[in-house]
Every structure is written in structure tokens, then in C-alpha cells.
Structure 1
Amino acid sequence: MKKITLILFLLSFFFNVNAQSTAGCGDSIDITYESSFNGLLYSFSAPLGQYASVTVGGETESCCDDMWITDGSGNALYGSQATPIGGALSGTFESTDGTILIYVDSDSSVTYTMTFEFSCYDPPSCIAPTGLSASATSPTEATVSWTAGDSETAWEYVVQVAGTGEPTGAGTATTTNPLSLSGLIGNTDYVIYLRADCGGDLSPWVSTDFTTPPAPIVPDYINDFTAFPGDLWAAGSPNGSFSSAWQADGFANDGSTGAAKSNIYSSNNIQVLESPIFDLSGGVYYLNMKAAVTQWNNTNTFAMGSDDSVSVSVSVDGGNYDVLHTWNESNNPGPTGTNMPGS
């Protein structure tokens, strides 16, 4: 009789877990998948109306075997069929429909063991909003929108400078969605936190970040290029060619700071040095600037080619530009430099 009991115990201990085996809430299981397995490895369902979560561990063959987890509707929880997970596995993932589906794609060479711990729990009484988005509409204003987590019509929000952490106190109450923000500071990274108010119960915070654009600069203003390219300036290439990008140098190759230079060579090579936005509504202003052309890396005279030019342009909408002045082979400023006419 003792011998029969021992045999039954061993059969139970080595029972092979597969997609048809049943784990309960709070159970932890190890699954060693077959080397040729491809498809749904395991499914878990919480009691009707409850959420489920799974904490994963173990590993798959990092080079050649992959896994992913979805909820019952096919929404990705951990990896996806398009971007599966390989190697060491970790993390806890929640299914709000109560179903967890675990998939494996093996190359049929070796087997590895994965671990899964399942939990079941009631949905929160106050569900967090989803789809939170925020975008700045001016240096001092932004628009925020979201989707209600359930049927709630009231929320709290907190707007703060990025990096200050999740709020510890109450937020500002609102029943407006989308929401308009004002009183912001230009050129600043912000985070907005939002949570649902379900009539006395509050959801967890959700958050998103946004950046306000800089406020227009009211002259007088100077950029001496001591620091390149200068605060709020930008340098780049609209056609993707960086073979002669704008860079710091001394004016006309005299010294190493105090000017911006670009090496004019090759074809279809467009480089842009863009200033901040200015507010010129308060008066009449003049643009003072000086340009020089030299041979590469020295102060000698250089003859510009017929396809060489440097233009100064201005835009009032950021898309359409009017040319104020152009230097080319007909008015080469030379190594000593010339001021832009009207300066």
C-alpha cells in the first residue's frame, strides 16, 4: 500500500502543465515549453467581473524563442506577436477583462522554463481616465483632453514642472473636458497629473508631459555666438545633409569663437541657422549682421561659385520666408567681411 501511494505522488509531482491545465487565483506555476511549441501555451481566467494580473519570471532562449501575453481581447500586455519578448522575463501585467493568454514561438532547438503567478481582484471603485494628452498652444497656454475611465464627470488635476514627482495632495477640481490651461511659463517642460473623482473616491493619478514654446523676444537683442549656437537658436539641414553644418568659429577664421561658420562645398547642400522668434510689434527695428567668405580654414580670399549663396530670410508664420539679403559671387563679402545693407 505504501508503494502505491509513492507512485501516485510522483505522478502528481511531474504533471506536465499545458494550455488546458487550470491554475487558480493566487497560484504560481512553472511551465517548461516543448522545443517545437508554437501558439497559445496557457490561458488563465479570473472569476467573472474581476481583474487578473500575472507576474512573470524565468526565461526563454534569448536568441531564438519568443513569448508574449495578451488579454482576452488580444490587447498586448507583455510584448506582442509583432514585438515578442526573448531571454529573461520579468514584470507584472494586468488584464482588465480578467483573461490572460500566454503565447510561445519556439525554434525547436531547446527548452526553457517560465514562471507565472496569477492574482484576481475586484476592479477599482474609481477607474483612472485614459488617453490623457496635452499640447501647448502658446508660451502661456495649453489644451488637455482625456477619456473618462468609467461614467465619472468630475476630475482633479495638477500641473507642475517636470521632474517634481507625483502629487501628494489634492488637485484642482474640474468638470470640463477638454481643459484649457493658462498662466504657464514659456520654454518650460511640464507634467499634468489627472485623476477621476467618483463622488468621494478617487482614482490613481495618470500623467503626460508637454513643453511650452519660448515667448517671443522683444528687442534690443544680440547674439555674439560666444556660446554656439546661442540660447533658443537652432542649426540643421532641411535636406538631411550635414557635410558642412553650422559650427562655432572666430569671424573669418580669426580665433575660435564669436561667430558661426559653414563650409560651402558639394552640391545640394543646404544648411540653416535659425534664430528665436521676435516680437517686433512695438516699434521699428534694424537687423545688424556681418558676413565674410574665406578659403577653408584660413583667412585667404575665396571666389564663390555660381551655385554658392548665403541668404538672410524672415518669416511671420514659420513656413513662408521672404529673403532680406543674399550674398553670392556677385557681391562676395570677402575675408574682411561686409555688413548687410540697411544694417
Structure 2
Amino acid sequence: MKKITLILFLLFFSFNSYAQFTQGFETGIDNGWTIINDGDANGWVQNTSPSGGAIEGDAVASISYSSSAHDDYLITPPIAVSVGSNELLSFYVKSRSSTFLESYEVLLSTTDALEASSFTEILQASSDAPNSWTPLEFDLSSYAGQTVYVAVRATGTDEWQLFVDNVISYPAPSCPDPTDLAVSSITASSASLAWTPGGTETAWEYVVQAAGTGEPTGDGTATTANPISLSGLTSGTDYEIYLRAVCDPLNSSSWVSTTFTTQCDTFTAPYSQDFEN
């Protein structure tokens, strides 16, 4: 028989939706969260001693195996989506064992959290949760102006345990980080760097320095080119390169980085070395 557990004050929350929130399940599956159990007898519960620990604190949301298939929904409070306020939703998932990976999917409802049939939109198709904490992020900006509910639906059969932790609703960064930094055409004294812009920015800053120097504390070299050519490098040297987007003079992204090593110098025969020095 279908069992619906409305965790806390459903009547109140049916008329109230959230902007930003963080849920680490330290005090239970509460604050407007909903559980629908359409499968086996086991459902989503708070677990205060998950194998391998939580992302933060002690507790996670957890569901344990059964010989019957899961069909269990862990559902967020209503989210009133507003661009610049809470268009991103992220959380972590994990299977307890690499031998028994738990399958799950992420669904969305634009109507209610009362019926499983309301979750008609797929944010992530069914997949197995890895055996290490894996971050997921979903862009809800296409639902701006609507109130939505997001569900993690457990679908595994006779595996072990599936964990969810640190669910956060938050705004997208105003100046997103560049991604996919790639160094190519490496020689003894030069290289090329390309990347994927984080948004619509057309200006960046970069710093090339010896590996291990760490994140820059000042400005970098400005550029509007992508890719860029790096020259004047030392042969056989480990480098790190930091890059950030400049969306306007007062708004830059975080620094992102990658590393590379220049080639060694080549010598034309005949060549001699007496090692006197």
C-alpha cells in the first residue's frame, strides 16, 4: 500500500515555499521535506552513523536494501524559483558499497509533492550512485516564476544503502568560473592554454608560475583571447597556471588552475659534457 509521510507541518508548508535553504539532516528529515514510499517496506530515514561518515556533521538521509524494489521519493520543500536567488540545487549521493551500487534518479514536479505521478520531469536519468560522495548540481532557472519540488527516487533492489547529504538551494554565481582548462603544444619554452568560458564573459586574467606557488593574491595578466600562447618558459620545469573570468571591473570569478611541464632542451650532435661543474 502506498505510504505518504509528510514530515513536518504539511498544512503550513503547502502555503509557503522556500528561497534558499540548506539541509544536512542533522535534526531529521524535517523542515518541509516529504517522503513517498511506493515500493518495499523500507523508506528514507535519518541515519546518524552512515558508513564512511557524512559530508558534514553526523547525519544523512538513507534508505536500506530490501529483496523488493525500491520506489521511494525523498522530496525537497517547495522551491519558489527566482533567478539570482535560488536557481541552483545541489546535493551529494553515495552508495554504501562498491559491490552493491544503489540506483536512483532525480525528478521534478511543478504541481505538488503528494503523488509520485506528479514527478514527470527528469533532471537526471536512472544511474548508480558511486561508492564515494559525489556532488550533483541542477540548474532550475528554466522554472523561474514557478514553485517546484525535486525528488531523489531510489529504485534499487537488494543492494545495500543509498545516502543523500548536504542539499543546498542557492543562486548562480554572478561571474561563473571558466572550466575545462587545457594546455597543449608544449615545448621547452612555450605552450598554449584554452578553456571554456563560464558564461558570456569575454575577458580573463591569468598567472603562470612555478608549480606549488599557490593561488595568486593579486591581479593577473589581462587577456581577451582564448586560447592564449605562453612564451618565455624554462625547459624541464613544472608550472601551474591560474585563470579567472573578469565579468566587469568589480566582478571576477574564482581562480581555477591546471598544471603542465615544459619539455627538456634538445641538443644537436656532436655534444659533450665532462661534468666538471
Q: TM-score range with shorter-chain normalisation?
A: 0.5 to 0.7
Return the letter of the residue paired with 1:32: I
Specify whether residues 210 and 103 from structure 1 end up closer, same or farther in structure 2 by C-alpha distance, changes over 3 A only: farther
String of CA shifts for 1:304-341, please: whole Å, max 9, x gaps: xxxxxxxxxxxxxxxxxxxxxxxxxxxxxxxxxxxxxx
Match of 1:131 in 2: 180
Q: Secondary structure at the match of 1:138?
A: coil
Report the CA distance between 1:180 and its aligned residue.
Answer: 0.7
Return the letter of the residue paired with 1:85: P
String of CA shifts for 1:287-319, please: whole Å, max 9, x gaps: xxxxxxxxxxxxxxxxxxxxxxxxxxxxxxxxx
Report the CA distance between 1:202 and its aligned residue.
Answer: 0.8
TM-score w.r.t. length of structure 2: 0.57
TM-score w.r.t. length of structure 1: 0.48
Match of 1:207 in 2: 257
**Matched ranges for 1:185-200 at <5 A:** 185-199=234-248, 200=250
Match of 1:161 in 2: 210
Unmatched segments (≥5 aa) in structure 2? 9-16, 30-60, 109-121, 142-148
Report the CA distance between 1:138 and its aligned residue.
Answer: 2.1
Match of 2:69 in 1: 37
- 1:63 pairs, out of 99, 111, 128, with 99
Mapped partners of 1:192, 1:115: distance in 2: 35
Of structures 1 and 2, the larger Rg is shown by 1
Specify whether residues 193 and 223 from structure 1 end up closer, same or farther in structure 2 by C-alpha distance, changes over 3 A only: same
Report the CA distance between 1:156 and its aligned residue.
Answer: 0.5
Report the CA distance between 1:48 and its aligned residue.
Answer: 4.1
Q: Secondary structure at the match of 2:175?
A: coil
Match of 2:33 in 1: none
8 Å contact kept, 1:71–1:97: no
8 Å contact kept, 2:102–2:159: no
Which deviates more, 194-203 or 40-49?
40-49
**Matched ranges for 1:3-82 at <5 A:** 25-27=21-23, 28=25, 29=29, 30-33=61-64, 35=66, 36-37=68-69, 41-42=73-74, 44=76, 46=79, 47-49=81-83, 50-56=87-93, 60-67=96-103, 81=127
Mapped partners of 1:91, 1:222: distance in 2: 53
What percent of counterpart residues are identical? 34
Mapped partners of 2:182, 2:105: distance in 1: 27
- 2:271 pairs, out of 209, 217, 220, with 220
Q: Secondary structure at the match of 1:153?
A: coil
Report the CA distance between 1:217 and its aligned residue.
Answer: 2.0
**Matched ranges for 1:1-343 at <5 A:** 25-27=21-23, 28=25, 29=29, 30-33=61-64, 35=66, 36-37=68-69, 41-42=73-74, 44=76, 46=79, 47-49=81-83, 50-56=87-93, 60-67=96-103, 81=127, 84-86=129-131, 90=133, 92-97=135-140, 102=152, 104=154, 106-108=156-158, 112=161, 114-199=163-248, 200-218=250-268, 219-221=270-272
Q: Secondary structure at the match of 1:26?
A: strand
8 Å contact kept, 2:65–2:157: no
8 Å contact kept, 2:104–2:156: no
Mapped partners of 1:122, 1:196: distance in 2: 18
Report the CA distance between 1:106 and its aligned residue.
Answer: 2.9
Match of 2:113 in 1: none
8 Å contact kept, 1:65–1:105: no
Q: Secondary structure at the match of 1:214?
A: coil
Report the CA distance between 1:172 and its aligned residue.
Answer: 0.9
